[in-house]
Amino acid sequence: MIKRIGFLSLTVAILGLFTGVGPVQSADADLLERIKDRGELSAGTEARFPPFEFVEDGEIVGYSADMMDIIMEDLPGVELNRRDVPWQGILPGLEQEAFDYIITSVTMTSQRCDKYALSYPIADASFAFLKRAGDDRIQAPEDVAGLVIGTQTGSAQLQGVRDFSDELESEGGEGVADIRTYTDFNEAYADLAAGRVDAVGQSLPNLLDVAKKRPEVFEVASGTFGPPTYFTWAARNDADSESLSAFFNEQLAELHESGKMAELQEKWFGQPMDIPMRDMCPEVKAADEE
C-alpha cells in the first residue's frame, strides 16, 4: 500500500523537512534492518513529474509507482510512505534524514555521484526542448540561440541549458537570450503556452508525455542536447544506507532482466529504453573530466 502525504508549499515543505525527526540511529542495525523492524519505508517524491510520478485521484501514480508496487513485494510487512514535496526539498531532505530514500527522478550528474548513492538508471534523461505547436523557428536544439528558455530551479536541466548556451557561444554563435526558472515544470509549460518563454528545457521522456497529452499546444523539437544522461533514485552515501542502496539496485536489475521494466516503459513512455543496468557514476565522472 502506498500512503501519500499531500504536496506542501515550497517554504513550508522545506522547513518541515529540516525540523522533522529523522530515523533513530542504532548501533547494531543498519537502515534497511530498521525499516523492516518498524514496518515503514519513507521516501521523498516530487509527484509533479509525469509520467514518472504524479497525483491522480489522490494517489501517487506513474512509472515509479508501478515499479514500487513490484519492489515492495520483497519487503513483506513494510508499508511505503511516499512524502510528496517540492523538488527543491528532495535532496536536502534526504541529507537531513527526513526520509530514508528518494523515489523520484534524480538526474545523474558527476556532482550528485560524489554526494549521494545513486541507483542504477531507471530511464533515459537526455535533454530536449519543448516548443509551441507550429513554431517553425525551432527545428533543432541549436535554434534556441537568441530565444528565452524556461526550466526548473535547481535542476540538472537548468545546468544543461546553461552549458548548452555556453557551448553555442564558444562555437562563435549566440547563446540563449535569457533563462527563466520555475519551482515546477508545469509553470514553465504554462508560460510557454502563453508565449512568455520560447521553449522549455527538460528531459525528453517528460516532454514526449506533455506533447502527447496536448498536441494542439506543444511539440518537441527534434534532437537532444548535452551528453547522454539518466534518471536514477538515490540514497544517502554512508555505511548506514549501503544495504538499502544495494537492495534497490538488485530490485532494478531484476526488473530489467525479467523484461518488466521494458513493459512499464512501453506503458508510460510508448517505447522501451536502452539503458545500462550498472553503476554509471564512474563513466559520468570520467566524461566530465575530459
* Contact assessment for residue 273 and residue 123, using Cβ atoms and an 8 Å cutoff: yes
Share of the chain above pLDDT 90, in %: 82
Q: Which residue has the cell 509553470?
A: 187
Q: How many CA atoms lie within 13 A of 204 on its CB side?
A: 20
Find out whether the peptide bond into 51 is cis, omega within 30 degrees of 0: yes
Residues β-bridged to residue 175: none
Q: For residue range 91-126, list pLDDT tens digits in order.
A: 999 999 999 999 999 999 999 999 999 999 999 999
How large is the average pLDDT for residues 175-181? 98
**CA separation, residue 120 to residues 255, 266, 274 (Å):** 11, 19, 13
Neighbours of 177 (CB within 10 A): 13
Helices (H), 40-144: 63-71, 90-95, 110-115
How large is the average pLDDT for residues 129-133? 98
Helix (H) or strand (E) holding 217: none
Q: Which residue has the cell 529504453?
A: 273
pLDDT at 270: 82
Q: At what angle do helices 242-258 and 31-38 cross, to 10 degrees?
A: 80
Cβ-in-10-Å burial (0-12, 13-18, 19+) of 189 comes to: buried
* Contact assessment for residue 85 and residue 45, using Cβ atoms and an 8 Å cutoff: yes
Residues β-bridged to residue 64: none
* Contact assessment for residue 15 and residue 91, using Cβ atoms and an 8 Å cutoff: no
| Confidence category of residue 29, pLDDT binned at 50, 70, 90 | confident
Task: Report how far residue 210's alpha carbon sits from residue 208's, in angstroms, rounded to the nearest whole number.
Answer: 6
Q: For residue range 149-170, list pLDDT tens digits in order.
A: 999 999 999 999 999 999 999 9
DSSP 71-122: HGGGSTT-EEEEEE--GGGHHHHHHTTSSSEEEEEEE--HHHHHHEEE-S--
Task: Report how far residue 225's alpha carbon sits from residue 228's, in angstroms, rounded to the nearest whole number.
Answer: 8
How large is the average pLDDT for residues 184-193? 96
Cβ-in-10-Å burial (0-12, 13-18, 19+) of 86 comes to: buried
DSSP 9-30: -HHHHHHHHHHS--PPP-SS--
Residue-level length of the chain: 290
Answer yes or no: is pLDDT of 81 > 80: yes
Q: Where are the beta strands (DSSP E) in 171-247?
A: 178-182, 199-203, 218-220, 230-236
* Contact assessment for residue 130 and residue 192, using Cβ atoms and an 8 Å cutoff: yes
Q: For residue range 208-241, list pLDDT tens digits in order.
A: 889 989 999 999 999 999 988 899 999 999 999 9
